Structure 1
Amino acid sequence: MNAQAASSARPAGLRRSAEALAATLPALVAEARHLAATVQLGQHGRRLSGMGDEFWQYRPAHGGDAARLIDWRRSARADQHFVREKEWQAAQSVHLWVDDAQSMEFTGDPKRQAKGDRARLLALALAVLLLRAGERVGLADPIAPPRSGEVQLLRLAHALTRQAGEADFGAPLARAILPGARAVFMSDFMGDPAAVEAALADAADHGVGGVLYQILDPVEEAFPYDGRTIFESMAGTVSHETRRAGDLRDRYLRRLAERKARLQELAHQAGWLFATHHSGESAQAALLWLYGALRKAD
């Protein structure tokens, strides 16, 4: 193809790619909203006294309390004055990192979501819940800093549906996370654990608490392979052929258990929580756990 033909074809190809990307946004946002709606949650209060709209408690009035703070109706039922306190509901920032490496595109069954698809759905549904609770949500990437409001949900959906990266395995980002914020890292964490360790250390140094959420396909836990098998990475950079795949099962499962144990220890050292989710399991249960885990990370 000559240079002129290539130049004319590029805008058409770019437009097709853009249209295909845009077509996924309404479906992903709708699915995330539906998932969020299936999770019944209570109020996301801070359980501290301060500025807010929700009533928290009555307390006896002190000498320095202004008369306008007295709840006269409640005080009329007792021999002392009471002040009506509201619950502190200041918004916090939550950063999401969803691994977009090639390994996340794997699924052991065409009828089952790929790991990356499940991670993106959970991340966006979690964002729906957090935004409804008045939090600011963004990515652990400078392209989408934490913000509140409905428009932010569309920004996140657009960012999360970018084309997958070219690397086999991803590494979490922590450089754009605000000090004192919270974060969720979603990945299969099949890459170098040293990258996870460095990101968690950086986050901990800045007072960031959060969750390491490992997402695996069920076949990655069961290793149901036997006989002649060719194992190839999703990016095609690594390939291994064996005639006796069953002989590798025990060694593989042992190394997987060791990796999980290390991730658990790294999370513990940073004051984070760690859990593993399988893409064949309930997305609702996963979302409920994630939301609860973030509350514990407050």
Structure 2
Amino acid sequence: MGDTFWQYRTAQPGDPARTIDWRRSARSDTHFVAEKEWQAAQSVVFWVDRGQSMQFSSDRNIVTKADRAALLSLAAAILLVQAGERVGLTDMGIRPMRGEVQLGRIAERLMDASVQDYGVPDLSILPRHSRAVFVSDFLGDPAPVEEALGTAADRGVQGVLLQVLDPSEEAFPFDGRTVFHSVGNTLEFETRKAGDLRERYLARLMERKERLAAMADLTGWRFHTHHTGDSPSSALLWLYQALEGRG
């Protein structure tokens, strides 16, 4: 990749003054930064689903999917910064950066929650030739994820899809009369024979996983499922190695 110039972009909050191309900026009322390919290649951006479905936990002794997703994303960001990478969130509004201040911004942002049942990938910040991490339960409409992966592929971005599920979402341990509620209480479904739904539910879950894996393969990404009942260390190791091209 080298340090070949490939684009000007509008300066954003947090850009050091030394990165501004004053000759290009003099021809406009806007300040511009000249980005090089090697800078983008050292950037990793995260989309972390903060929809209501991620607030689910089937047991008080098991963390929510949102907490686990935030933990894994922040831990990975710390490791990447220590390795000299730039990191950021796709919806932060500022470009990926290094340093503890940036990590603090990410940690604060990860505490926010969406009012939507399911999150939708936001690619407001996705530099060309960078790497990306999408962390979600991926239980909502898969179309926005497919569209986001297509956009990423068009920009030369490669990355990983990390699916975070609660153990009960994998096993469906329900039987008899059961009332299902969405975490945001926008949906409700009651059945007297929950056990009869298990086989169909597990089949649809497997279909969703296969679809995600196929999307990842098509765009050169990697796919992995992690359960909140398991230790986060193995998922973090997989994530870091996948980003390094060893997963």
> Same-fold call, TM > 0.5?
yes
Please point out which of 221, 227, 232 is paired with 1:283: 232
User: Which of structure 1's runs of 4+ aligned residues deviate more than 6 A?
Assistant: none
Amino acid corresponding to residue 197 of structure 1 in structure 2: E
What's the CA shift for 1:223? 0.3
**1:183-236, CA deviations, whole angstroms, 9 ceiling, x for partnerless residues?**
000000011011100000000000000000000000000000000000110111
Over alpha carbons, which structure has the higher Rg? 1
> TM-score, with normalisation over the residues of structure 2?
0.82
State the distance in 1 between where 2:138 and 2:94 align. Answer: 23
Equivalent in 54, 77, 90 of residue 104 of structure 1? 54
- Give SS of 1:226's match: coil
Residues in 2 aligned to 1:179 and 1:236: alpha-carbon distance in whole angstroms = 39
Q: Which residue of 1 aligns with 2:133?
A: 184
Q: Which runs of 5+ in 1 are unaligned?
A: 1-47, 51-88
Residue type at the aligned position of 1:141: D
Q: Structure 1 residue 174: deviation in Å?
A: 2.2
Give 1:147's match in structure 2, choosing from 97, 116, 120.
Answer: 97
Normalising by structure 1, we get a TM-score of 0.68
- In structure 2, the partner of 1:38 is none
Q: Report what 2:144 is aligned to.
A: 195
- 2:94–2:125 Cα contact (<8 Å) kept: no
Inter-partner Cα distance in structure 1 for 2:177 and 2:131: 46
Q: Please, what is the CA RMSD of the aligned residues?
A: 1.9
What residue in structure 2 maps to residue 167 of structure 1?
A: 116
Please point out which of 190, 194, 217 is paired with 1:241.
190
**Corresponding residue for residue 254 of structure 1:** 203
Q: 1:214 to 1:205 in 2, by over 3 A?
A: same
Indicate the residue corresponding to 1:156 in structure 2. 106
Residue 23 of structure 2 corresponds to none
**2:121 and 2:148 in contact (8 A); partners too:** yes
Q: Check the 8 A contact 1:98/1:120 in 2, yes or no.
A: yes
Letter in 2 for 1:128: I
Instruction: Count matched residues.
Output: 212
d(CA) in 2 for partners of 1:250 and 1:175? 39
* Native 8 Å contact 1:209 1:297 kept in 2: no
Structure 2 residue 218 is matched with structure 1 residue 269: yes
Higher helix share: 1
Note closer, same or farther for the CA distance 1:297–1:180 as it changes in structure 2 (3 Å cut): farther
Output the CA distance in 1 between the equivalents of 2:58 and 2:183.
12
